[in-house]
Amino acid sequence: MSILNYLKKTIDKKGAAYIVLIDPDKKNNQAIEKIVNSGNNSGVDAFFIGGSLIMDSEYNRRVRDIKNKSKIPIILFPGGVNQINPYFDAMLFTSIISGRNPHYLIGEQVIAAPIVKDLEIETIPTGYILIDGGSVSMVQVMSGTIPLPMQKIDAIIAHALAGQYLGKKMIYLEAGSGAKYPVGNNIIEAVRDVLNIPLIIGGGLSSPEIVNEKVIAGASVIVTGTIIETESTIMNEIADAVHWKMK
Ligand code: 1GP
C-alpha cells in the first residue's frame, strides 16, 4: 500500500492521523532516539522528518538511524532539496502556495525531481500554506514568503481551494514551528468545508486539549514537533486526542 493510502485509511479508521515531526538537526542529537522509541510505542501513525536549517553534516546519518529504529513510516517534510536521501518511505512533495516566491513554488521541485525519480521515493503532492502564527517563523525566513494573516479567512480558503484544483493530494495549514497561535478552529472549519482532500494542521500545537479542538474542527492529520522535543511522554495523550474514532 502507498503511504498516501496508508494515511487515508488511518484517517478513515481512527478519525485523524497523528504525525510527530523530528527535526534531525544537531541541536536534537540527544533527543532523537528517545522520540523515535516513544513514537514506536505511543500510537503515533508516522514520522515527518525535516527542518528549516541543518547546522552540521550529520543529517543523512541521523535519518538513516531513525529509519533503522522506526517501526512506523518515515516521511520527508523537506526544508530543501538537500534533505532528500534514500531512507524515506515517502516525501511530501510540497509547494509553498501561500507565497509568491517562484523558487519555492517550482524551483526547488525541478531540482528535486530527477533525484526523487532516481531514488524512487513516493511523492505526496502537498499544497503548503503558511499562516501567521504570531511570531516570525523559520519557514518565512528561509523561503522569503509572507504568511497569510490569520484573520484573512477568505484568502486562506481561496489558497486551499487553488491547491486542490491544482491537483494537490493534501493541504497543509502551517502556523510555523513554535507558533504563539496555532491555526484557528474557525479557519480549519471553513477550509474543511470546501476541501475533499486531507487537511494537515501543524505549528504551535502544545497540548492534547488544543489538538482535540483541531480534530473536532476538521483536521485530518495533526503534526507536533516542539512539544515532543521537551516532553516526549505526552505523545500517548496526544495520540488519544487525535484518534477520536477509537474511543
Ligand atoms: C509542523 O512546523 C510544525 O507543521 C511543527 O510545529 O514545532 O510548533 O509543533 P511545532
- 174 Cβ closer than 6 Å to some ligand 1 atom: yes
Question: Average pLDDT of 133-138?
Answer: 98
Question: Average pLDDT of 163-179?
Answer: 98
Spacing, Cα 211 to ligand 1 middle (Å): 12
Model confidence band, residue 109 (pLDDT cutoffs 50, 70, 90): very high
What does the block give as the cell for 29? 542529537
Say what the pLDDT of residue 82 is.
97
Residue type present at position 132: D
pLDDT for residue 144 is more than 90: yes
**Could you tell me if 240 and 207 are in contact, meaning their C-beta atoms sit under 8 angstroms apart?**
no
- 38 Cβ closer than 6 Å to some ligand 1 atom: no
Other CB atoms within 10 A of residue 118 CB: 10
Residue with cell 531540482: 111
Say what the pLDDT of residue 70 is.
98
Tell me which H or E stretch contains 240: helix 235-242
Please state, for a pLDDT cut of 70, what percent of the chain lies above it: 100
User: What distance in Å separates the CA atoms of residue 182 and residue 24, rounded to the nearest whole number?
Assistant: 23
Residue with CA closest to ligand 1 atom 2? 177
Say what the pLDDT of residue 3 is.
98
Say what the pLDDT of residue 159 is.
99
Q: At 175, which CATH number?
A: 3.20.20.390
Spacing, Cα 202 to ligand 1 middle (Å): 5
User: What distance in Å separates the CA atoms of residue 98 and residue 91, rounded to the nearest whole number?
Assistant: 20
User: What distance in Å separates the CA atoms of residue 247 and residue 237, rounded to the nearest whole number?
Assistant: 12
pLDDT for residue 135 is more than 90: yes
Say what the pLDDT of residue 4 is.
98
Q: Considering only CA atoms, give the Rg of the chain.
A: 16
Question: DSSP E strands: which ranges in 28-176?
Answer: 46-49, 74-76, 90-96, 122-130, 170-174
Q: Crossing angle for the helix pair 185-194 and 153-165, nearest 10 degrees?
A: 40
Say what the pLDDT of residue 231 is.
86
Question: Pseudo-torsion of CA 175, 238, 74, 246, nearest 10°?
Answer: -120
Say what the pLDDT of residue 247 is.
79
- Name the residue range of residue 167's domain: 3-246
Please state, for a pLDDT cut of 90, what percent of the chain lies above it: 97
User: What distance in Å separates the CA atoms of residue 22 and residue 235, rounded to the nearest whole number?
Assistant: 13
- 178 Cβ closer than 6 Å to some ligand 1 atom: yes
**Could you tell me if 94 and 202 are in contact, meaning their C-beta atoms sit under 8 angstroms apart?**
no
Question: Average pLDDT of 66-91?
Answer: 98
Number of compact structural domains in the chain: 1
pLDDT in tens, 209-247: 999 999 999 999 999 999 998 887 899 999 999 999 997
- 94 Cβ closer than 6 Å to some ligand 1 atom: no
Say what the pLDDT of residue 232 is.
78
User: What distance in Å separates the CA atoms of residue 63 and residue 61, rounded to the nearest whole number?
Assistant: 5
| Cα dihedral across residues 53, 31, 128, 70: positive or negative | positive
Pick from 34, 21, 42, 49: which is nearest to 234 by CA?
42
Mutate to test the pocket of ligand 1, among 18, 19, 20, 21 (most ligand atoms within 8 A of CB): 21
pLDDT in tens, 27-56: 999 999 999 999 999 999 999 999 999 999
- 202 Cβ closer than 6 Å to some ligand 1 atom: yes
Question: Average pLDDT of 178-185?
Answer: 98
